[in-house]
Chain A
Amino acid sequence: MKDVALRALDTALAHGVTYADVRVEHIRERSLGTKNGQTGRLGSSESTGAGIRVVAEGAWGFAATDDLSAAGLSTAAEQAVAIARASALASKGELRLAPEDKHECVWVSPCAIDPFAVPIEEQLGLLLAVDTELRRNSGVTLAETNMTFARTRQVFVSSLGSIIDQARTTSQAGFEAWAFKGNEIQKRSYPTSFGGQAQLKGYELVHELALLEHAPRIAEEAVALHSADQCPAGVFPLILESSQLGLQIHESIGHPIELDRVLGSEANYAGMSFLTVDKLNTLRYGSDIVNAVADARLEHGPGLGTFAFDDEGVPAQRIDVIRDGQFRGYLASRETAPVIGLTRSNGAMRAAGWSRLPLIRMTNVSLLPGPHTLDEVLDIDHGIYMETNRSWSIDDKRYNFQFGCEIGWEIRNGKRARMLRNPTYSGITTEFWNSCERIANRDNWTLWGVPNCGKGQPEQVMGTGHGASPARFRNVRVGGGYGK
């Protein structure tokens, strides 16, 4: 792969470009699922190709090809240059990239148990056992389980002289119990919804999740939701479980801090951001106890946003996003960093495979844990607790959001009281984070994976990481999703 990458780079440089980088990737995936005792999906895939990015006449061009022959790479390199020259027909001034060092590195993500070496029979057997356990509850009308594994090897080379060889293995697993009755559909998921937990790990993740042990409780809750009271509407103290808080972080902190979005690159599709550059170091984003970081380093944990180098050859870094409630930093690229006076990119450029252009993407954007036990977070006379995302929506500048959860509980005197169905909550980003009054400690902190973050045109689906522990918020509007 290194030879292929260097050959493509040489070809691009021969066309007189001022900068070029090449990513050659091989992506392998395995995906399994069951539905009501039958094999659902069962498949494997591989994809290999090269993406060539150049600057010519002061403008960007990018071409990707599955043809890694000398002729195929040459054609793609010529195409990238021709595209850059076309870009120059409607460009505004010369590109300026923040300086970056030359790097040479080989990096393999930690993977204790190779998921591709685990027999499929064993993987399918576990899913079918979970499926059977879910359907042991007669109220469950549909049981679904899934596992997905991916391994990407990427060689990145650039005209700066960098040669970076990275291999990342990710795993995801989870299940859902559906209960249809009368005129309502209820669902519970474990460990979270939309495919379950996803991390930069091998099959050890599946062992850690203990899927089978949790199946009876999840089935019971799905059925019990039909007898639960509708979540009341009003303004309440709200406690969010950590996976839901992870998605809240993703939508209302992670996306607004993407500097390309702030500067207008996504105006036509993913939208812009309320976090205009004048707010850096001046906006009170949250209450004093809110501290958030963007951290792509392995030290932060095995997240979907963990790597050694981003896709333009910049090392993984940790930045303060919010410190003591104050807004402190954006996610940047080599092109956007100089716009806000940064001398170097903080390494957030990633592409969804060889065929796509790198964009600023969330790494692991996490809320740092607080000092409190879970009991202390729940210690309130009356409030609402919500768990596991069911729906998520936020406006195109990331102000107004609404989330729905699979299940809620009324909290009375610090304890879970009655179960509540169809809970939703909504708010304005900065008002919400400024109402944060208690965050649980590291014992309750989980680095969640969001594997389905969409951005860019053509759209790129990316995995991001979000560490969170349960937290409590004052005066949150609850019930708007079912409001008349």
Chain B
Amino acid sequence: MTRVECQRIFDVAQRAARSAGMDDVELLLDAHTTALTRFANNAIHQNVAERDRMVSVRVPMGSRTARATTNLVDDDSICRVVEEAIALTKVAEPNDELLPLPSPAEAGEIPEHPSRFDAATAETTPQRRALAVKEAIAIVESAGATAAGIFETGAATEALINSRGLFRYHEETSARFSITATAADSSGWAKASAISAAAIDAAALAGNASGKARLSASPREAAPGRYTVVLEPAAVLDLIGQIFGDFSATAIHDQRSFLTGRPAGALFGPNITIDDDVRHPLQSGAPFDGEGVARRSLRLVEGGALREIPYARGSAKRAGVAPTGHGLPLPNETGEMPVNVVIAGGETSLEHLIAAVDHGILVTRLWYIREVDPFEKIMTGMTRDGTFLIEGGQVACGLRNLRFNQSVVELLRNVIAMGLPARASGEEAMDMVVPAMTVQAFNFTEVTKF
């Protein structure tokens, strides 16, 4: 969807609102094309593409607001969705904390933002994906294993326009490749994501996954207990990623965040520093939030101490501070959250992290992570697709998968070494820039049968 098309849709919506006597209108627009080639049992078995658009309208009336959404972009449908938004808003309960739509000045200026659109990625053909998949399958198959995975490419446009003159527009492409190599009694996994498909090395990922499957063959069983673990970046991402919904002024105000009432100092270990930085070169996403406010870079945690938290406009007004540009589209119950997390690390390679562990466990990936305790942030879940015993600084053998019940707060006090931060992609949290971590006393509570 071009800027011109976005403006046309907004003009239609604004005329419809004005004819109903309404001055304020806000439109969120989204258009995307995505294609995903999926393979299993060494063959492509599902192969899909989709295109869709979304026009989502608010017509605030004083302290009332509501939202109506359609994927139809003809004039009649846009007028109808505006009428629906007006009808919903009229019956909404007044909310004294609702602010008028932001002007461009209130929303803030967006500093120069790195381009996140790669035309070649947007135009990736199914043949190109299939050939990359075929090569990856051949690598896994030649290692005596069975390949399954995905190669996804897509392009998306996101815009926010309001009747106070604010016009935000963002285009982005994405590419994602993941692969699981399954052998008789073991498996291995690897995944990467990027703005550009050219940055994805599918063959290397296939080699990594099949190597892990080979190394973890004939797994032994480790007794449940506390171990020193080396968590690869995807495992760090999926586990630590579970806590960032709590880094929210609204969640703290609602007393549902683990940060509620905690002393800001010494929250985690002194080696933990976490930013939210939409402009980080390895990050992705739009530089504005659900009301169009420019995203600020935040230092969430510095030296283990809580430094800054995200604020939407509403929660910022309540607290008497400036919004940080992390608000979600209104109306919502959640308020705001960080979406571009960057965890500082060291300069150590994964191999050196492993070499420094005398007795421990190397974890490739975690699975089905769920919150057991909301205040201590105890998470449970399983290891998956590459769990190894480390003895004397070397990978000794594969292990059967283990269940953990681990407080993330405690974990971030027990980090003893970190690798070089990398863009990581898992399955249970948003992509982030995180290091591999060596963690003491990680709590495994059960072992499964494979």
A interface vs B, CB < 8 Å? 33-49, 59-67, 79-80, 82-87, 89-92, 119-121, 124, 128, 141-142, 144, 178, 180, 183-185, 187, 263-269, 271-272, 274, 355-357, 390-397, 399-400, 402, 404, 422, 424, 426, 428, 457-458, 480-484
Instruction: Digitize B26-51: 1 where CB-to-A-CB distance is under 8 Å, 0 elsewhere.
Output: 00000000111111111111111111
How far, in angstroms, from A79 to B370 measured CA to CA in the complex? 39
Residue of A nearest to B154 (CB): A458
Pair A268/B149 contact, Cβ less than 8 Å: yes
How far does the alpha carbon of A414 sit from the alpha carbon of B71 in the complex, in Å? 56
Majority-rule SS of A interface residues = mixed
Contact A393 B382, CB 8 Å, known A185-B256, A268-B180: yes
Residues of chain B within 8 A (CB-CB) of A80 are 49
Contacts of A428 in B (CB 8 A): 448-449
From A36, A84, A92, A263, name the one whose CB has the most chain B CB atoms within 10 angstroms. A92
Any A CB within 8 A of the CB of B405:
yes
On whether A400 and B49 interact (CB within 8 A), knowing A184-B375, A268-B40, the answer reads: no
Q: Which residue of chain B lies nearest to A422 when distances are taken between CB atoms in the complex?
A: B373
Q: How far is the CB of A284 from chain B (nearest CB, A)?
A: 16
Specify which chain B residues have a CB less than 8 angstroms from the CB of A45 in the assembled complex.
Answer: 56, 68-70
Known: A60-B47, A142-B255, A480-B403. 7 other contacts (CB 8 A): A38-B93, A64-B49, A64-B50, A141-B254, A402-B405, A481-B373, A481-B405
Least Cβ distance of B270 to chain A in Å? Answer: 22
* Minimal beta-carbon separation of B147 from chain A (angstroms): 9
Closest CB-CB distance, B51 to chain A, in whole Å? 5
Chain B interface mostly: strand
State whether B47 touches A84 (Cβ < 8 A).
yes
Any chain A CB within 8 A of the CB of B227? no
Q: Is B413 an interface residue (CB 8 A)?
A: no
Residues of B within 8 A of A395 (CB): 367-368, 382, 384, 401, 403, 448, 450
Any A CB within 8 A of the CB of B380:
yes
Report A389 CB to chain B, min CB distance, Å: 10
- CB-defined A-B contacts under 8 Å, sample of 5: A66-B53, A86-B44, A89-B44, A399-B449, A482-B373
Which of B49, B97, B129, B260 gathers the greatest number of chain A CB atoms within 10 Å?
B49
Nearest CB to that of A31 among chain B residues?
A: B67
User: Is B19 engaged at the interface, CB distance under 8 Å to the other chain?
Assistant: no
Q: Closest 5 interchain pairs by CB? A: A86-B126, A400-B448, A180-B255, A267-B148, A45-B69
CB-defined interface of B120-148 with A at 8 Å, one 1/0 digit per residue? 00000111011101100100000000101
Residues of B within 8 A of A187 (CB): 374
A393 touches B126 (CB 8 A): no
B91 interface residue (CB < 8 Å to A):
yes
Across the interface, do B384 and A43 meet the contact criterion of CB distance under 8 Å?
no
Whole-angstrom distance between the Cβ of B262 and the nearest chain A Cβ: 8
Interface residue B179 (Cβ < 8 Å from any Cβ of A) = yes
Partner of B48, one of A64, A264, A400, A483: A64
Which residue of the partner chain, among A35, A44, A48, contacts B333 with CB atoms under 8 Å?
A: A35
Q: Are A86 and B37 in contact (CB under 8 A)?
A: yes
Which of B37, B150, B382 meets A396, CB within 8 Å?
B382
Q: How far is the CA of A457 from the CA of B126 in the complex (A)?
A: 16
Q: Counting CB contacts under 8 A, is B104 at the interface?
A: no
Q: Does B12 count as interface, using CB distance less than 8 angstroms?
A: no
A458 touches B405 (CB 8 A): no
- Measured CB to CB, the closest approach of chain B to A251, in angstroms, equals 9
* Residues of chain B within 8 A of A272, CB atoms compared: 182
A63:B50 contact, CB within 8 angstroms: yes
Determine whether the beta carbon of A268 is less than 8 Å from that of B71: no
Q: Is the CB of A42 within 8 A of B37?
A: no
Name the residue of chain B whose CB is nearest to the CB of A80: B49
Asked if A481 meets B372 with Cβ closer than 8 Å, knowing A66-B51, A396-B384, the reply is yes
Tell whether A355 pairs with B50 under 8 Å between CB atoms, given A144-B333, A426-B403: yes
